[in-house]
């Protein structure tokens, strides 16, 4: 009889302090009233209480809450989307104004059912936010939009302040971890974005703990730098449900600190690295730090 696979025990440094103060409650109420989605909730982000209750920040997720891809690490619902809300950009812009944000992150589910991959609504959201909030910097975090050049150009023509696209995992594990995405296409997406507008910083995120080696992490850093990526974030993969990939290793905070040191030595303008770091974690600070090191 085969031995049942054991789950790794979560270490003490991954314990999260819950905080449901008035900021948290007010932000949650506003999201529901404006019928907006956040990746904070949909992806079960471990930092939601810190960001909502203390920092009063959120990452808006546009184009609905149903993703056309079924990546094995992600908790966002998958299926065939039924909605395309053309009023959504204005509601996001109103919410950014209401929150008084100085930096906003806008991400989206993958919409492979749309010819433009959702680029049109993405670009319109950027323009709407900028019109209402001229002093707010805007970070976009799109899917690879199936690698279609015109789709990326539509988004870049809206001139976001930072283009973020996540490599997610190392080359070898990409087919197992990500759905419909390829390692090379993500690198090409980031390279093309920089070619379209060299003044817009690019950023990418790597989650570790899904079976990669230390050497593969460093190789991924080199690949990102070879494609002129400016900012990198590195975080610990946490299994969102029993249906998702199991954690293969919990990295110690000291290992994350070492990876940050290596990333900066390799030429990244900024690197955020830690067990609970996610792509948009302290995004405002990331942008400021990268600008200072430019």
Q: How far apart are CA 111 and CA 133, in angstroms?
A: 27
User: Where do the domains of the chain lie?
Assistant: 19-289
- pLDDT tens digit sequence for 140-161: 999 999 999 999 999 999 999 9
Residue 171, classed as helix, strand or coil, is: coil
- Quote the percentage of the chain above a pLDDT of 70: 79
Cross-strand partners of 107: 61, 141
Instruction: Please say if the pLDDT value at position 199 is more than 90.
Output: yes
Cα(26)–Cα(103) distance, rounded to whole angstroms? 19
CA distance 256 to 253: 5
What is the pairing mode between strands 59-62 and 37-38?
Answer: antiparallel
Q: Is the dihedral of CA 257, 258, 259, 265 positive or negative?
A: positive
Q: Given pLDDT bands bounded at 50, 70 and 90, which one contains residue 171? A: very high
**pLDDT tens across 31-57, in order?**
677 766 665 554 455 555 555 545 556
CATH topology assigned to domain 19-289? TIM Barrel (3.20.20)
Cα three-residue angle 91-92-94, rounded to 5 degrees: 65
Between CA 186 and CA 146 the distance in angstroms is: 9
């Amino acid at each position: 009889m085969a031995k049942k696979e054991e789950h790794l025990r979560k270490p003490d440094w991954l314990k999260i302090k819950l905080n449901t103060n008035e900021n948290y409650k007010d932000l949650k109420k506003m999201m529901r009233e404006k019928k907006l989605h956040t990746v904070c909730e949909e992806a079960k982000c471990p930092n939601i209480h810190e960001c909502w209750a203390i920092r009063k920040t959120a990452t808006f997720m546009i184009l609905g809450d149903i993703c056309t891809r079924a990546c094995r690490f992600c908790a966002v619902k998958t299926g065939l989307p039924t909605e395309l809300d053309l009023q959504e950009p204005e509601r996001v812009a109103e919410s950014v104004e209401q929150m008084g944000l100085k930096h906003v992150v806008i991400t989206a589910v993958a919409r492979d059912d749309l010819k433009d991959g959702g680029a049109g609504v993405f670009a319109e959201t950027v323009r709407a936010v900028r019109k209402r909030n001229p002093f707010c910097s805007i970070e976009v975090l799109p899917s690879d939009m199936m690698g279609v050049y015109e789709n990326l150009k539509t988004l870049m023509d809206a001139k976001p302040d930072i283009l973020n696209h996540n490599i997610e995992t190392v080359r070898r594990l990409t087919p197992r971890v990500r759905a419909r995405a390829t390692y090379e296409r993500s690198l090409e997406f980031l390279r093309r974005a920089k070619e379209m507008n060299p003044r817009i910083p690019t950023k990418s995120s790597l989650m570790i703990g899904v079976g990669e080696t230390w050497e593969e992490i460093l190789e991924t850093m080199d690949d990102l730098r070879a494609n002129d990526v400016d900012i990198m974030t590195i975080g610990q993969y946490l299994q969102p449900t029993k249906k998702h990939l199991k954690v293969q290793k919990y990295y110690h905070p000291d290992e994350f600190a070492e990876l940050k040191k290596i990333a900066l030595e390799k030429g990244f303008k900024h690197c955020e690295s830690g067990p609970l770091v996610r792509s948009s974690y302290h995004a405002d600070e990331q942008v400021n730090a990268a600008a200072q090191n430019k």
